[in-house]
C-alpha cells in the first residue's frame, strides 16, 4: 500500500512522470472479477426455499408451477428441465404439459384459460419460442397477469414501465440482482444495453433508468439502447464511455476489448452456440469476447454460468410471489364462506 501511495504521489509531478505512472498502473492492474451467476443463484434459491418453508408452515398450500412446452426443440426441453429441477430444489411443486408442435393457436389458448381457472396453479408459463403458426404475443397475453411468472403479459410490462410492483421478467430481474448484489453502482452512471428485445433488452433498460424512489425502485442510471441498425462505430462511441455494458443482442463477440473503458462492468446475457475451431465441437459463448474484455473490465459475467442460472432463480421467486398474490384476503375469505 505504501508503494502504491508513493507511485500516486510520483504521478502528480511532471507530465513525463505521469506517462511512466500510467504504464506502471496499467501493468499492475488485475483482471476483472468474474461474477459467478451460479453462486448468486444458489443464494437466491436458498432465500426462495426459506420463503416456501415459511409459507407452508403458516398453513398455506405448497406453491405450484405449470409449464406448457410445445414441440420438440431440444434447447426448450433443456431449459424447462432446469426450471422444474429448480422448483423441486426450493420446494415448489411443478408439472410440464407437453403439446405437439402442430397444436393450433386456439387449442393452446384454451389450455391456458383452463390453467388460469385452476386454483391449484399458482405460476404459469409457456416456454418460448413457439412454432411459427402461433402468435406469441397473443399467447403471453392469454396467461393471467397474476400467474404470469415470465412477466410477459402486457399488464405486467405496463406496471414495470410505471415503476409499480409487478412480476418482473426473470432474465432482466436476474441482471438487476447481479448488479445490486455485486455492489456495482448505478446512480448517475452511464449504461449501454446492446439489444432491444421486448423480453430482455427493453426491460433491463427500464429497470436501470427509472427512479429509485418509486414503488418498484429503479437504478437512476443514464441508459443508451443499441440495436441491429446501430453502426458498430456508433455503438463503440457509447460503450467506450459506459460504466456498465449489458450485451443482449445474440451476436457472438459483439463487444470486444477495444470497445470497453478501463474498469467498466460487463454483463453478458447472450447465449450463442458456435463451433469450436480447435475441437470442431459446438460450444456456448456470449455476446462478449470474454478473454479480451476481462483484461479491461472491473466485473464480468461468464457464459455459461453467469446470467442463465439467475434467470431460473428469479423464476422461482416469481412463482412464490404469484402464490402469495393469489391467496384471498381476509375479507374475500369471509365472503366466500358466507356465499357457500
Angle (CA) 136 147 144, round 5°:
55
Q: Read out DSSP for 110-171? A: HHHHHHHH-TT--EEEEPSP--TTS-HHHHHHHS-TTTBTT--SHHHHHHHHTT------HH
Angle (CA) 270 320 207, round 5°:
45
Burial class (CB in 10 A: 0-12, 13-18, 19+), 4: exposed
Beta bridge partners of 223: 191
The yes-or-no answer on residue 127 being catalytic is yes
Catalytic residue among 51, 122, 148, 150: 150
- Rounded Cα distance between 242 and 293, Å, is 14
245 touches 260 (CB < 8 A): yes
Instruction: Give the 3-state secondary structure percentages of the chain, helix then strand then coil, rounded to 5.
Output: 45, 15, 40
- Cis, peptide link before residue 90, omega less than 30° from 0: no
Catalytic residue among 83, 147, 296, 321: 83
Cell of 29: 492492474
- Rounded Cα distance between 125 and 79, Å, is 12
**Greatest Cα-to-Cα distance within the chain, rounded to the nearest angstrom:** 87
Angle (CA) 118 120 124, round 5°:
70
Buried b or exposed e, range 37-53, using 16+ CB within 10 angstroms: beebbeebbeebbebbe
Catalytic residue among 51, 122, 127, 289: 127
The yes-or-no answer on residue 12 being catalytic is no
Beta strand residue intervals within the chain, DSSP E: 33-34, 64-70, 93-99, 123-126, 190-194, 222-226, 244-247, 265-268, 272-275, 282-285, 299-300
- Rounded Cα distance between 283 and 271, Å, is 10
Question: Residues with catalytic annotation?
Answer: 83, 127, 150
Amino acid at each position: 500500500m505504501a508503494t502504491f501511495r508513493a507511485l500516486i504521489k510520483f504521478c502528480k509531478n511532471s507530465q513525463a512522470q505521469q506517462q511512466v505512472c500510467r504504464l506502471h498502473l496499467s501493468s499492475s492492474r488485475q483482471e476483472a472479477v468474474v461474477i459467478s451467476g451460479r453462486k448468486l443463484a444458489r443464494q437466491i434459491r436458498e432465500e426462495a426455499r426459506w420463503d416456501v418453508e415459511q409459507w407452508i408452515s403458516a398453513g398455506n398450500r405448497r406453491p405450484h408451477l405449470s409449464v406448457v412446452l410445445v414441440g420438440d426443440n431440444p434447447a426448450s426441453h433443456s431449459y424447462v428441465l432446469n426450471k422444474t429441477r429448480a422448483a423441486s430444489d426450493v420446494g415448489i411443486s411443478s408439472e410440464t404439459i407437453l403439446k405437439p408442435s402442430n397444436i393450433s393457436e386456439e387449442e393452446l389458448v384454451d389450455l391456458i384459460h383452463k390453467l388460469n381457472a385452476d386454483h391449484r396453479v399458482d405460476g404459469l408459463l409457456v416456454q418460448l419460442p413457439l412454432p411459427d403458426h402461433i402468435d406469441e404475443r397473443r399467447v403471453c397475453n392469454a396467461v393471467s397477469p397474476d400467474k404470469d411468472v415470465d412477466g410477459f403479459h402486457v399488464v405486467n410490462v405496463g406496471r414495470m414501465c410505471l415503476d409499480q410492483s409487478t412480476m418482473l421478467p426473470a432474465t432482466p430481474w436476474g441482471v438487476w440482482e447481479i448488479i445490486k448484489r455485486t455492489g456495482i453502482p448505478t446512480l448517475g452512471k452511464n449504461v449501454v444495453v446492446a439489444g432491444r428485445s421486448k423480453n430482455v433488452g427493453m426491460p433491463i433498460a427500464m429497470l436501470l433508468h427509472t427512479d429509485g424512489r418509486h414503488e418498484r425502485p429503479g437504478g437512476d442510471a443514464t441508459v443508451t439502447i443499441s440495436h441491429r441498425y446501430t453502426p458498430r462505430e456508433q455503438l463503440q462511441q457509447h460503450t467506450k464511455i459506459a460504466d456498465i455494458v449489458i450485451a443482449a443482442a445474440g451476436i457472438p463477440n459483439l463487444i470486444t476489448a477495444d470497445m470497453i473503458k478501463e474498469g467498466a462492468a460487463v454483463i453478458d446475457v447472450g447465449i450463442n452456440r458456435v463451433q469450436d475451431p480447435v475441437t470442431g465441437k459446438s460450444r456456448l459463448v456470449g455476446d462478449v469476447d470474454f478473454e479480451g474484455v476481462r483484461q479491461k473490465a472491473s466485473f464480468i459475467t461468464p457464459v455459461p454460468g453467469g446470467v442463465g442460472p439467475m434467470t431460473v432463480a428469479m423464476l422461482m421467486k416469481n412463482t412464490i410471489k404469484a402464490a402469495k398474490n393469489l391467496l384471498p384476503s381476509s375479507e374475500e375469505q369471509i365472503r366466500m364462506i358466507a356465499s357457500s
